[in-house]
Amino acid sequence: MPMRAAELRNTERELYQFHVRVGIAGLAVLVAFGLLAARFVFLQVAQHDAYRAKAEDNRISIVPVAPNRGLIVDRNGIVLARNFSAYTLEIFPRRLSDLERTIDELAEIVDIQPKDRARLRKLLAETRNAESLPIRTRLTDEEVAKFAANRYRFPGVDIKARLFRQYPFGETASHVIGYIGRINRDDQARLEEEGLDANYRGTEYIGKAGIEASYQNELHGTTGLEQVEIDAAGRGIRTLSRTPSQPGNDVALTLDIRLQEVAEAAFGARRGALVALEPSTGAVLAFVSKPGFDPNLFVDGIDPQSWAELNNSPDRPLNNRAIAGLYPPGSTFKPYMALAALELGKRTPRSTIFDPGYFEFGGRRFRDSKPGGHGVVDLYKSIVKSSDTYYYMLANDMGIDAIAGFMKHFGFGAKTGIDLQGEALGVLPSPEWKTRRFRRPEQQKWYAGETISIGIGQGYNSYTPVQLAQAIATLANSGVTFRPRLVSHVDNLRSGGRRYLEPQLAHRVPARAEHLEFVRNAMAGVNREGTGARAFAGAQYTSAGKTGTAQVIGLKQGEKYIESKVEERLRDHSLFIAFAPVESPKIALAVVVENSGFGARAAAPVARTVLDYFLLGKLPEIMTRPTPEDEVEEEEGD
């Protein structure tokens, strides 16, 4: 009993203590809420007049000041993307009750095409929370004057002076430079996720493709702000204070725009891709994806008709073939196979095979591209004359695991890490890849017969042109790979500082110097006395190359490929890889010309044209038209 009494007392004491604490809490709540009430009184009674004045008469608006976007220049400082100032007619959609009627009335004063209306509708649908959107860009002085006289009629319309992005070279290097466009919902969400949204208040444009996208953070700059008094209609009265914006950095490419023009001219109207690298650094010297597009179309928001034309064209001009196009390497794969054979001890330079024009395996004939074959073939001849039979046998002897294991050192089937977005992976075939790629067990199995055509760069092999270029640059640079990159340095205009982007060592191929030397020598033989000899006849420098022809369609057993009978888009792709000069390579490149047949016929002459200009400064005959820069100078001279 005394125990229980004590416990009871204890409980009572605890309850009493609890009530005390509830009382303390209640008091604290009253004090805190009293504090808030005092704050309300202070703001709404004591300071009311001041705040009412701020709210009613002089609303202070903090207006972000968008920074000027940095320039993009080529390796010699030639401007590839610049800004120019122009007047635009802007519509403030939220201040308008009847958008269509306003536009109709505007059309009486300034020229507004159906194209402009369509673009505005597209922008309205895509853009979130935009204060104003352009209905017309690049007004003439006359139009500006006309609208100014009628401005009182249009409360939700105003003229703005804005900077526009311009790409003076148009289609040239369009897949490198890319373009900017209005910030859309996806961009906005990404900026918020990266915590960059505050710095993008006031910014309307963002890089969408190419260098404009991948170096967006360098090019953008820092947003400034102005405290502005605005009237009840939201128009600015005067600026109270100003923190200036800081312009974005200028980005200088490794690309030589003149070489780029030569390379694109060499393609003519044909589709394809070319990537030229400096083997000792990975710097991209030329980067072609044909056809291109005019990036200027995208700047003010592309009109739906141009968009449909670009998007629906069977030539896929928006597709960046150099990093996202996948092509079988064809016979350009053979030099790497030869190096693998030497390195793994499967062949020696002296050993020979007999090539009857086919290789028989499992009751199936794998045919050589030369009917009747090349007769007795050693390793050197197998590259120079491009014997298929030699590599059918070699692939069979090596096995798929050894091939895949060696080829990955050259970066085949892996992203190169070039500083552009949207790089494709490609396929370096292996039994593991097949297991990952396919679902059904019978599809997942690797058949020995599949290894055979891997040896000549067909089968499941498919790589991007930038991978092909990286591989040949690696071979030219004695097995050392530098990551391909397009930007040489970044200039900060305010500080005058310049930051160089260092070459990045990607990996080394485990191969002996004498083996690399042998393969390079055989590739020099290709251009001297082999399949590349015709394209390189009379060259005033030494060069090494390898032709390739990639099948677009598979042929049935016994079926013969007759070019004239095959539909144009199903014809073979023409490939060429090369580097020059042989002794100390300054340039290595890979060329793909789509649906153009033998590598020797279409791709090798493109490579010759590019090397001639790069090493000798020799312009091809097709390039007699003046460049945009020259035109400007001529105008100024008049």
Partner 1 sequence: MELARIPLRRLGERLAEGIDSTLLVLALSLSFIGLAALYSASYDNPARIANQLAHLALGLAAMWLVAQVPPQTLMRFALPAYALGLALLVAVALFGDVVNGAQRWLRVGLVRFQPSEMMKLAVPLMLAWTFHRNESSLRLRDFAMAALLLAVPVALIVKQPDLGTAALVAAAGTYVIFFAGIGWKLLAGLAAAGLASLAPLWGLLHEYQRKRILMLLDPTQDPLGSGYHIIQSTIAVGSGGLVGKGWLNGTQAHLEFIPERHTDFIFAVFAEEFGLAGGALLLLLYTLLVARGLMIAANAPTLFARLLAGAIALMFFTYVFVNLGMVTGILPVVGVPLPFISYGGTALLTVFIGIGLLMSAQRHRKLVQT
Which residues are tagged catalytic?
331
User: Measured from the CB atom, is 227 or 369 closer to partner 1?
Assistant: 227
Query: Which is nearer to partner 1, 115 or 242 (by Cβ)?
Result: 242
Q: Which amino acid is at 466?
A: V
Beta 224-230 vs 236-243: how paired, if at all?
Answer: antiparallel
313 makes contact with partner 1 (CB under 8 A):
no
> With respect to partner 1, which residue has the nearer C-beta, 20 or 149?
20
Contact 425, 415 (CB under 8 A): yes
| Pattern 241-270, partner 1, x by CB under 8 A | --x---------------------------
Residue type, 552: V
The size of the interface with partner 1 (CB under 8 A), counted in residues, is: 48
Specify the pairing of strand 79-91 against strand 72-73.
antiparallel
CB 389 within 8 A of CB 337: no
> Which residues, 6+ apart, have CB-to-CB distance to 153 below 8 Å?
105
Question: Would you give the distance in Å from CA 122 to the centre of its chain?
Answer: 24
Told to check if 5 binds partner 1 by CB under 8 A, we report: no
* Minimum distance, C-beta of residue 217 to partner 1, in the bound complex (Å): 13
Q: What are the angstrom distances between the C-alpha of 139 and each of 144, 159, 164, 379, 632? A: 6, 9, 13, 67, 21
Q: Tell me whether the omega of the peptide bond preceding residue 581 falls within 30 degrees of 0, making it cis.
A: yes
Among the candidate windows 51-59, 311-319, 477-485, 507-515, which touches partner 1 by CB under 8 A?
Answer: 51-59
DSSP line for 25-68: HHHHHHHHHHHHHHHHHIIIIISHHHHHHHHHT-EEEEEEEPPP
Query: Residue 178, by phi and psi: left (phi above 0), alpha (psi -120 to 50) or beta?
Result: left
54 scored as a contact of partner 1 (CB under 8 A)? yes
Min dist CB 56 to partner 1, Å, is 7
Residues 136-195 that bind partner 1 (CB under 8 A): 192-195
Interface pick for partner 1 out of 1, 5, 36, 125 (rule CB under 8 A): 36
By C-beta, is 14 or 633 nearer to partner 1?
Answer: 14
Residues in 76-95 that interact with partner 1 by CB under 8 A: 94
Residues 6+ apart with CB under 8 A from 217: 196
Select the residue interacting with partner 1 from 101, 201, 569, 618 (CB under 8 A): 201
> By CB under 8 A, is residue 45 in contact with partner 1?
yes
Residue 55 as a binder of partner 1 (CB under 8 A): the answer is yes
Strands (E), 560-600: 573-580, 587-593
Is 29 one of the binding residues for partner 1 (CB under 8 A)?
A: yes
Return the residue of 198, 308, 553, 622 that touches partner 1, per CB under 8 A. 198
Instruction: Provide the H-helix boundaries in 42-134.
Output: 48-56, 99-107, 114-126
* Residue 16 is a binding residue for partner 1 (CB under 8 A): no
By the rule CB under 8 A, 124 interacts with partner 1: no
CB of 13 to partner 1, least distance (A): 10
Using CB atoms within 10 A of its CB, is residue 540 exposed (0-12), middle (13-18) or buried (19+)?
A: exposed
Of 111, 145, 151, 234, the residue at the interface with partner 1 (CB under 8 A) is 234
**Residues at the contact surface with partner 1, assessed by CB under 8 A:** 7, 14, 17-19, 21-22, 25-26, 29-30, 32-33, 35-37, 39-41, 43-45, 47-48, 50-52, 54-56, 59-62, 64, 94, 192-195, 198-199, 201, 223, 225, 232, 234, 243
